[in-house]
Amino acid sequence: MTTAGDIMHRGAQWIPAHETLDRAAQLMRELNVGALPISDANERLCGILTDRDIVVGCVAMGHDPAKVTAGEMAQGTPRWIDADADVSDVLREMKDHQIRRLPVIENKRLVGMISEADLAHHLTEDQIAGWAESVYAKSATR
């Protein structure tokens, strides 16, 4: 059985909800990632911030990223997967919620992230095609 822990990339880092979007962008650059999980004061997942969120939800709206916090951008119910979950559960979670990045949690701690690139490196072409069709076809109709 292939698990979420097997396909995730390690070293994911939180951005605290109180941090500003300019700091989040700097951290994304330093880590070479396009998304960061957002944590509350107790290091619980409260959202995911993407580079697109910063551009479209802040900059394009005329807001100052030095004054908007990551927590203000957190929307909806954050999704995550346990490190021991089977890869089929990972795919189902991502398909059902039309998400392209999924934090991986172990013992209530962030241990990694699963992205499209991780799926591409670890899954069969048929698995990837099914995932992409369900995630991208639905999001294109919004």
Q: List, for residues 8-64, the tens digit of each pLDDT value.
A: 999 889 999 999 999 999 999 999 999 999 998 888 899 999 999 999 999 999 999
pLDDT tens column, 96-115 = 888 889 999 999 889 999 99
Q: Which residues contact 99 (CB under 8 A, 6 or more apart)?
A: 79, 93, 135
Does CATH place domain 4-140 in 3.40.50.720?
Answer: no
- Record the pTM: 0.83
Instruction: Assess contact for 37 and 109: CB atoms under 8 A.
Output: no
3-class DSSP state of 45: strand
